């Protein structure tokens, strides 16, 4: 099974959900790719769910259980037209992608043993997996047993329900210098500026020298066999929306701008904490030796 993300006319496969299980007329939900090779589900004109831009990983796998079959997703470049192709390790030829009338995306494969359809993938998987549900500078933490909204480092909630997202604990001061912290395994935010063919250092500099730039991410795209874009630099100006901490290890590294004082405070606290802990450890050892000698 293949899903076309783009062609030479910047068009993609477009799916439209039924209005109801017994009503094949079109609903408000549709699915397709965009010019940045993202997959989006829209509710009319508003994004409902988003799969982040391709990061150069050619193949990754999904499975129901560790003992069951594996579904693999592969990125294919056919003369500048990009496709996602799907195969199942048990050789099943019957596969389908379904856009449910509720807006949920499902990938299914036919199980010849149970004579039923196995669901390998469905999104959004939780309420905080929906588009921008954690608000600006908030993210959905999918590494937890129950996915929950949290704030990016250096931010705090504006409201308890995250409806307004998060705000900085300390404002940036570009004139005095800011720092970037590394956030691993992240689904990169939406509304980015896509810069082609930059080295990592030039990508970092692109963001660092612009006080309005809040974050950046870099990916090597040479594995995709692209004839023009060998790398991809994403930079964000202003708010970060629709961010997620991935629990499957398939996320990217996001470099987030914070005030340099935030880094120095953490470093200073660590410098104080380590000697204190070492002193306490020595004191405990002396006490243990004294107790042993007293008993002896």
Q: What is the pLDDT of residues 200-259, one digit of tens each?
A: 999 999 999 999 999 999 998 876 665 457 888 999 999 999 999 998 777 899 999 999
What value, to the nearest 5°, has the Cα angle with vertex 39 and ends 149 and 92? 105
User: For 109-123, what is each residue's pLDDT tens digit?
Assistant: 888 888 888 888 888
Rounded CA separation 294/208 (Å): 62
Residues 143 and 32 occupy one common structural domain = no
289 in any annotated domain: no
The residue range of the domain holding 14 is: 2-123
Residues 136 and 256 occupy one common structural domain = yes
281 in any annotated domain: no
Q: What is the pLDDT of residue 111?
A: 81
Residues 104 and 144 occupy one common structural domain = no
pLDDT band at 78 (very low <50, low <70, confident <90, very high): confident
270 in any annotated domain: no
* Alpha-helical segments (H) within 146-196: none
- Give how many domains the chain has, as a whole number: 2
Range with the largest mean pLDDT of 4-18, 27-41, 149-163: 149-163
Residues 93 and 195 occupy one common structural domain = no
274 in any annotated domain: no
Q: What is the pLDDT of residue 266?
A: 45
Residue 33: exposed, middle, or buried by beta-carbon count in 10 A (0-12, 13-18, 19+)? buried
246 in any annotated domain: yes
Q: Looking at per-residue confidence, does 57 or 286 come out higher? A: 57
Whole-structure pTM over 0.85, yes or no? no
Closest CA to 119 of 128, 130, 110: 110
Q: Is the pLDDT of residue 18 over 90?
A: yes
Q: At a CB cut-off of 8 Å and minimum separation 6, what does 76 contact?
A: 2, 82, 83, 84, 85
The arithmetic mean of pLDDT across residues 35-49, rounded, is 90
Q: What is the pLDDT of residue 74?
A: 78
Residue 232: exposed, middle, or buried by beta-carbon count in 10 A (0-12, 13-18, 19+)? buried
**Which tokens in the block code for residue 121?**
């993938």
Residues 146 and 239 occupy one common structural domain = yes
Residues 204 and 88 occupy one common structural domain = no
Half-sphere exposure of 137 toward its Cβ, with a 13 Å CA cutoff? 23
Residues 178 and 256 occupy one common structural domain = yes
Residues 83 and 19 occupy one common structural domain = yes
For the chain, the residue count is 296
Q: What is the pLDDT of residue 92?
A: 65
Least confident of 159-163, 248-252, 280-284: 280-284
Residue for token digits 């508003």? 46
Residues 182 and 237 occupy one common structural domain = yes
Q: Is the pLDDT of residue 263 over 60?
A: no
Q: Is the pLDDT of residue 268 over 70?
A: no
């Amino acid at each position: 099974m293949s899903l076309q993300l783009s062609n030479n006319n910047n068009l993609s496969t477009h799916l439209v959900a039924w209005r109801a299980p017994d009503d094949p007329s079109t609903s408000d939900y549709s699915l397709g790719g965009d010019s940045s090779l993202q997959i989006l589900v829209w509710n009319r004109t508003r994004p409902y769910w988003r799969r982040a831009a391709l990061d150069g990983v050619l193949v990754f796998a999904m499975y129901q259980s560790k003992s069951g079959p594996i579904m693999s997703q592969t990125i294919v470049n056919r003369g500048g037209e990009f496709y996602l192709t799907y195969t199942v390790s048990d050789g099943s030829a019957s596969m389908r992608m379904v856009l449910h009338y509720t807006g949920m995306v499902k990938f299914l494969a036919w199980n010849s043993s149970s004579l039923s359809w196995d669901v390998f993938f469905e999104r959004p998987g939780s309420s905080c997996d929906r588009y921008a549900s954690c608000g600006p500078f908030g993210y959905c933490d999918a590494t937890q047993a129950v996915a929950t909204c949290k704030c990016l480092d250096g931010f705090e909630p504006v409201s308890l329900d995250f409806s307004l997202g998060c705000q900085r604990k300390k404002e940036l001061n570009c004139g005095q210098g800011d720092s970037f912290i590394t956030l691993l395994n992240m689904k990169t935010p939406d509304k980015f500026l896509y810069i082609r063919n930059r080295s990592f250092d030039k990508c970092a500099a692109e963001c660092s020298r612009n006080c309005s730039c809040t974050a950046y991410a870099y990916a090597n795209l040479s594995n995709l066999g692209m004839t023009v874009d060998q790398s991809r630099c994403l930079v964000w100006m202003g708010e970060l929306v629709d961010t997620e901490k991935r629990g499957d290890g398939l996320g990217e590294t996001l470099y987030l701008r914070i005030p340099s004082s935030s880094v120095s405070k953490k470093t200073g606290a660590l410098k104080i904490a380590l000697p204190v802990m070492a002193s306490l450890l020595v004191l405990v050892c002396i006490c243990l030796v004294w107790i042993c000698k007293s008993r002896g």
